[in-house]
Amino acid sequence: MNNFEQLKKIILSHKSFLLTTHVNPDADAIGSQLAFYEILRKLGKTVYTVNHSSTPYFLKFLDPKNVIEKFDEKKHSKLFEEVDVVILLDLNQSKRIAHMENYFLKFHGVKICIDHHQDTENIFDCVIGDTSYSATGEIIYDFIKSTNIVELNYRLALQLYTAIMTDTGSFRFERTSPKIHLIAAELLKLGVNPTKIYDEVYDQSHFSKIKLLGETLNTITLDSTKQIAFMIVTHDALRRTGAEEADVDGFVNYCLSIKGVKIGILFYELKDGVKISFRSKGNIPVNKLAAEFGGGGHLNASGTRLFNTTIQDNIDKVVKAAQNYL
Ligand code: 5GP
Ligand code: MN
């Protein structure tokens, strides 16, 4: 039995499910979670969708009925004693669900991971997907097609298209294959409007986001090799502009739009530490670079969170470490 059949069997033989995704969720996270919600609801299952972080405002169009809840320990921790199955989508390491982690690790039911990142933790009963997938949404598409567990419909197509469009950088990143375009074609045939989805995700920004982008672009710095560019987002800049953490998604890519730059780094100031985002061109494995600092991710896009430290304490160290990958 392949993994898809195993997952189908688990789904058909259980009644209640909790679906969750990573902190600071992106469109692949939310789209995949809501697509799975649709599948399970079509099958008459009891489904809870609960995340550590709230859904960013530019992804709310994916969840018009507000089925996703923000984790509240008092209200939701008991779910880990009640449901049969917990599914983590678009992450493969339990620390990425933050305050829900302890409950997940103690959960006695079936633990499933549906994901496309490297270095999957050895804590799951069933792992679906691998790093060859461009998006978790693509895995779910394959799961539906190969098992016929439900029929694709417009709602599913909308979620899966948004997941795939964003995780492929609007169909330009490395894993944009003929297969991805064929999937996109099928989703469009189901009524997905690509103009509208791009507009919802990228062109309905708050004014504050664009002001913050301006400030962030002003911080851009090249290292001595001129092959590494980095930028900084401070608390102060967020306060001044009124932007929020989710608005910073995508800023780091501007580093790679400079000729000759192969590694882009963004330092984001947290309440009690620093979040670092890495991006690279070609074969430069920034997931390995992130791993040096306790993080992970994909070959060309990775990140980490460091606590009890400051941005200034880390710039030199991190840029020096990055130079070893040039
Ligand atoms: P971003 O920079 O957009 O937040 O994250 C890019 C990618 O890096 C994510 O898709 C995820 O794979 C990975 N990533 C980001 N932050 C972390 C982290 O703290 N730990 C791990 N293991 N991976 C991360
Ligand atoms: Mn993803």
Convert the chain into a string of H (helix), E (strand) and C (coil): CCHHHHHHHHHHCCCEEEEEECCCCCHHHHHHHHHHHHHHHHCCCEEEEEECCCCCHHHHHHCCCCCEEECCHHHHCCHHHHCCEEEEECCCCHHHHHHHHHHHHHCCCEEEEECCCCCCCCCCCEEECCCCCCCHHHHHHHHHHHHCCCCCCHHHHHHHHHHHHHHCCCCCCCCCCHHHHHHHHHHHHCCCCHHHHHHHHHCCCCHHHHHHHHHHHHCCEECCCCCEEEEEECHHHHHHHCCCHHHHCCHHHHHHHCCCCCEEEEEEEECCEEEEEEEECCCCCHHHHHHCCCCEECCCEEEEEEECCCCCCCHHHHHHHHHCCC
Which amino acids bring their CB within 6 angstroms of ligand 1?
A: 93, 117, 277, 295-298, 301-305
For atom 19 of ligand 1, the residue with the nearest CA is: 304
Neighbours of ion ligand 2 (CB under 5 A): 28, 90, 136, 167
Please report the pLDDT score of residue 174 as a whole number: 87
Give residue 315's Cα distance to chain centre.
25
Domains of the chain: 4-201 (3.90.1640.10), 207-323 (3.10.310.30)
Our mutation pick for probing the ligand 1 site, out of 116, 133, 275, 302, counting the most ligand atoms within 8 A of Cβ, is 302
**How far is ligand 2, taken at its centre, from the CA of residue 151, in Å?**
23
- Counting ligands in written order, the one closest to the CA of 129 is 2
**How far is ligand 1, taken at its centre, from the CA of residue 304, in Å?**
6
Q: Looking at the whole model, is its pTM more than 0.85?
A: yes
Please report the pLDDT score of residue 277 as a whole number: 98
Please report the pLDDT score of residue 1 as a whole number: 58
For atom 15 of ligand 1, the residue with the nearest CA is: 303
CA 18 – CA 83 distance, rounded (Å)? 7
Helix 136-147 and helix 27-42, axial crossing angle in degrees, nearest 10: 20
**How far is ligand 1, taken at its centre, from the CA of residue 249, in Å?**
11
- The mean per-residue pLDDT over the stretch 291-317 comes to 95
The atom of ligand 1 lying closest to the CA of 250 is 3
**How far is ligand 2, taken at its centre, from the CA of residue 167, in Å?**
6
What digits encode the pLDDT tens for the residues 258-298?
999 999 999 999 999 999 999 999 999 999 999 999 999 88
Record the tokens describing residue 208, joined without a space.
Answer: 């504050």
Residue 2 has pLDDT above 80, yes or no: no
Least confident stretch, 17-21, 173-177, 226-230: 173-177
Please report the pLDDT score of residue 77 as a whole number: 97
